[in-house]
């Protein structure tokens, strides 16, 4: 029972080959674009890798890059096959090459779908990774003299300015961390000593934020210190004040930025997947139609093209049997290598 049979007269075959050749060039460029999109996404993730705890999300751009490169190769081959299908003398050399080629191509195209699904599925993992990374960044903000952590201050400041955000969830995260280094605290002053004594761990905590949280759109000069003390500033009420600092948390800002990137890349990847699958299906039809022509003297006869010669179940059984045979052959080969003496012995009693 042939799967999805179609009749192909000579003209239709020629047109199919030509159209497919053109389409394979388009798909080659789309593959290059997919690769470029993967590279872009990877660089964007790398730029903020200091505030990310793990690199799980990097699998999405890695898949995109791999599939992009593979599809460039696949589509070049497809173009060559189409070019040769118009010339009967050159087509037969592709005969053994095409079945594994189809398997590999289908595998790589399905990787595209996997990448798309992963980009949605890994959102929670990205958020968790950012949560831990930002928490560490804010904790080590003051350690500008510790090697390995000395750039955290600059990283966090630049991040807050560029993404217009403050803290992990919001600005209050800064109240729970000592972000001023002890090097710049005057321990002889009473105020400092009181603050350090007032909490269990002996940390200098205050209701203030770094300057990078300041919102330039605020009509008044930035209020960074004594944020919860209304009387410390003239005409100020922290419960209603919205423009003074950035109200968004950096975790949410980064997650929406990356989700935005992936949501833009997603439809393009889907389009490319559909294009690639249609090319593979058409190529399969062309291959089977051309196989009907091989061995005949007249090239211009009408042939049939199909996707699978037998039904899906039967094809699967056949491939399984083939694989078993290959496996057995390999085993027998091993057995005969291991015991070379048994054969001549078997021959001896026969001659005796």
Pick 31 or 210: Cβ nearer another protein:
210
Least distance CB 106 / another protein (angstroms): 42
- Minimum distance between the CB of residue 188 and another protein, rounded to whole angstroms? 9
Q: Is 340 helix (H, G, I), strand (E, B) or coil?
A: coil
Q: Which is nearer to another protein, 216 or 341 (CB)?
A: 216
Answer whether 82's CB lies under 8 Å from 21's CB: yes
Helix residue ranges per DSSP H, the chain: 10-47, 59-85, 98-121, 123-139, 152-163, 190-197, 250-293, 312-338, 342-351
Number of helices (H), then strands (E), in the chain: 9, 2
137 vs 305, beta carbon nearer another protein: 137
Which positions touch another protein (CB under 8 A)? 144-145, 150, 153-154, 157-158, 161, 179-181, 183-186, 210-212, 214, 216-217, 219-222, 224, 233-235
The 8-class DSSP code of residue 342 comes to H
Rama region for 167: left / alpha / beta (φ>0; ψ in -120 to 50; rest): left
Are residues 142 and 180 in contact, defined by beta-carbon separation less than 8 angstroms? yes
Closer CB to another protein, 15 or 220, in the complex: 220
Among the listed residues 257, 39, 247, the one whose alpha carbon sits nearest the alpha carbon of residue 127? 257
CB 261 to another protein: min, Å: 23
Closest distance of CB 223 from another protein, Å: 9
Name the burial class of residue 10, with classes exposed (0-12), middle (13-18) and buried (19+) by CB atoms within 10 angstroms of its CB.
middle
The nearest distance, CB 189 to another protein, in angstroms, is: 8
Considering the complex, state which of residue 87 and residue 184 has its C-beta at the smaller distance from another protein. 184
Taking the complex as a whole, the smallest distance from the CB of residue 157 to another protein amounts, in Å, to: 5
Smaller CB separation from another protein, 54 or 182: 182
């Amino acid at each position: 029972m042939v799967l999805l049979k179609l009749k192909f007269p000579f003209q239709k075959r020629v047109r199919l080959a030509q159209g497919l050749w053109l389409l394979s060039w388009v798909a080659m460029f789309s593959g290059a674009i997919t690769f470029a999109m993967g590279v872009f996404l990877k660089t964007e993730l790398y730029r903020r890798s200091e505030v990310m705890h793990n690199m799980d999300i990097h699998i999405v751009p890695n898949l995109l890059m791999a599939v992009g490169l593979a599809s460039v190769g696949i589509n070049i081959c497809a173009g060559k096959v189409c070019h040769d299908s118009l010339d009967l003398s050159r087509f037969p050399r592709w005969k053994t090459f095409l079945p594994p080629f189809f398997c590999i191509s289908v595998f790589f195209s399905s990787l595209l779908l996997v990448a798309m699904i992963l980009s949605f599925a890994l959102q929670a993992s990205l958020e968790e990774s950012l949560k831990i990374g930002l928490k560490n960044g804010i904790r080590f903000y003051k350690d500008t003299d510790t090697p390995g952590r000395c750039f955290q201050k600059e990283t966090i400041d630049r991040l807050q300015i560029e993404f217009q955000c403050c803290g992990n969830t919001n600005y209050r995260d800064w109240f729970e961390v000592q972000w001023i280094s002890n090097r710049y605290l005057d321990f002889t002053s009473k105020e400092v000593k009181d603050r350090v004594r007032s909490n269990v761990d002996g940390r200098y905590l205050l209701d203030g934020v770094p300057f990078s949280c300041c919102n330039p759109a605020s009509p008044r000069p930035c209020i960074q210190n004594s944020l919860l003390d209304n009387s410390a500033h003239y005409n100020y009420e922290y419960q209603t004040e919205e423009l003074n600092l950035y109200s968004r948390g950096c975790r949410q800002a980064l997650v929406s930025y990356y989700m935005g990137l992936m949501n833009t890349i997603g439809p393009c990847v889907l389009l490319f997947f559909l294009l690639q699958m249609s090319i593979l299906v058409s190529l399969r039809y062309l291959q089977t139609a051309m196989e009907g022509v091989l061995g005949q003297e007249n090239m211009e006869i009408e042939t049939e093209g199909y996707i699978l010669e037998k039904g899906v179940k039967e094809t699967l059984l056949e491939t399984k049997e083939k694989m078993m045979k290959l496996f057995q052959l390999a085993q027998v080969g091993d057995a005969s290598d291991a015991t070379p003496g048994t054969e001549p012995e078997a021959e001896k009693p026969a001659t005796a």
